[in-house]
Chains A and B, each alone.
Chain A
C-alpha cells in the first residue's frame, strides 16, 4: 500500500489553511505578506517541476539521468553554501563540489548497496530521496564548518601566526581551527540524534509510515539515514576544509583576505 493520493482538488483545499497565518499577518500588520505569497508560489512551482521531473526519472530509471540529477543537486548545494558563507565563489566552487560529492556518495553507496542491497544501485526511487536527505545536511554542516574555520583563523590570526612561527607545518597550524569547525558543524546532527523521536517524528520515518510500512520498518530506515547523515556531514566538512586550504592560503601559509567577500 502506498500513501493516499491527496489529489489536486484536495491540495487546492489545503491552500485554504494559509488563510489563517495570512489573516494573523494582516491583523498584526506583519510586513511579511508579500514575501510569504512569493515563497508559497515558489514552493509550489519548484515542487511541481521536481515532481514531474522525478516522475519522469522514475519511469525511465536511467542511471545517466539519475546521475545528472545528483550532479545538479550538488551544484545547487555548492552555490548555496558559498552564498551562505560569503566566501569567494571562484576559489571554492570546485573543491566544495568535490567535498559535497564525497560526503554524499560515501554514505549513499553504503546505504543502497549494503543496507538496502538494491540490485540497481542507481534506482532513482531510492537514490534521489536518500541523497537529498544526506546532501541537505551536508549543506548545513558545510556552511557552519567552513565559515567557522575561516572566520576563526581571521579572528585569531595572531594565534595562528604564532603557531607558524613556532615551527608548525601548515596542517599542524590549522589543526585546532579544523577541530573547532568540525565540532561546530557536527553538533546539530549530534543534538538531533540525541532527541530524535522525542521532539518530533523525523521526515524519513514519517514518509515510510505514510507509505504503508510498519513503524518498526520505519525506525530501521530512520536510524540508518541518521547514521548516513552523520557520516556524510563529517566527511564533507573535513573534505571541504582540507580541499579549500590550497585556495585560501598563500604558499607562505598566511590566510588570503581576498577569500572573504
Chain B
C-alpha cells in the first residue's frame, strides 16, 4: 500500500483524531515540527516510520502522556486539554507495544479496567472474551498464566484483546505486531480488518504485506515528514 495523504472515510462526523501544527521537543531535540494529521471517523490509518521519528510520541500526545511544545489536538471534535483529557481517554483504547502485566494472571489483567468507574457499564463485555481470544489465536488457558510465563507476542495479543473488549470508538495501537510471527501477525491484521465503525491509528515499522486493511499509510520517514499535513 502506498502512502497517501487523502482521507477516504468521507463521513460528516467530526474527525476521530485531529492534530494541528504539533511540535514536540525533548531537551534541545525537535522530534516533531509543525506536524498535522487527521483520522476521520471510521478511518483506519497506519503511521509508519523508523525508530526515533516520533511515532510513539504522537500516540503519547493523543492520550495526554506528553504535552506538545505547540499545536492543537482534538479527539472527536473536542480539544484535548488537562480538563478534557480524562473524559477523552474514555473514547480511546490503547494497545501498548510491550504491555506490563505486573504479577497478575492474564485474566486478572484483562478484567482490571472493568473495575474502573468509567467502564462499569461495560462489564458484560467480558462475556465476549473467549471469542476475542480465538480471533487473535490465543487459547483460553492463557488467562490463568502469569506474566512471567507469557511470551512478548502473547502479551501483545492480550493487549489487543483488552482494547477490543473495551470497545471504544478509537483504537490506538503502538507496534502491536512487533513480537509476532507471521501467522499471528496475519491473525491480528485480519482481526483489525474486521473492525467496523472504529477509527484506528496504528504505529508500525512495517509498511509491507498485510496492511491492506488500512485506508491510509502515513509515513514519518525522514524527507517525507514529520512536518506538514498528513
Interface residues of A (CB under 8 A from B): 156, 158-159, 161-170, 172, 176, 250-254
Contacts and interface: CB of A to CB of B under 8 A. Distances in A.
Contact of A165 (B94, B98, B101, B112): B94
Given A162-B99, A169-B117, A253 B94 contact: no
Interface of B: 63-65, 67, 82-83, 85-86, 89-90, 92-94, 96, 98-102, 112-113, 115-119, 162, 166
A165 B100 contact: no
B116 A169 contact: yes
Given A161-B65, A251-B82, A252-B85, A167 B96 contact: no
Contacts of B117: 169, 172
A172 B63 CA distance: 17
B122 to A, nearest CB: 9
Contact of A172 (B100, B116, B162): B116
A162 B147 CA distance: 15
Nearest to B98: A158
A251 B65 CA distance: 10
Given A158-B100, A252-B67, A254-B65, 13 more contacts: A164-B65, A166-B94, A166-B112, A166-B113, A166-B119, A169-B118, A176-B102, A250-B67, A251-B82, A252-B64, A252-B82, A253-B85, A254-B64
Contact of B113 (A156, A168, A252): A168
A67 B112 CA distance: 47
A158 B116 contact: no
Contacts, number: 68
23 contacts: A158-B96, A159-B101, A161-B96, A163-B112, A164-B65, A164-B89, A166-B119, A166-B162, A166-B166, A167-B119, A167-B166, A168-B118, A169-B86, A169-B117, A169-B118, A170-B86, A176-B102, A250-B67, A251-B82, A252-B82, A252-B85, A253-B64, A254-B65
B102 A159 contact: yes
A176 B86 CA distance: 19
B99 A166 contact: no
Contacts of B113: 163, 166-168
A-B pairs, top 4 by smallest CB distance, nearest first, are A251-B82, A166-B113, A167-B118, A165-B94
Q: Which of B67, B93, B102, B116 has the most CB of A within 10 A?
A: B116
Nearest to A160: B100
B56 to A, nearest CB: 12
A83 B47 CA distance: 45
B71 to A, nearest CB: 15
A172 to B, nearest CB: 5
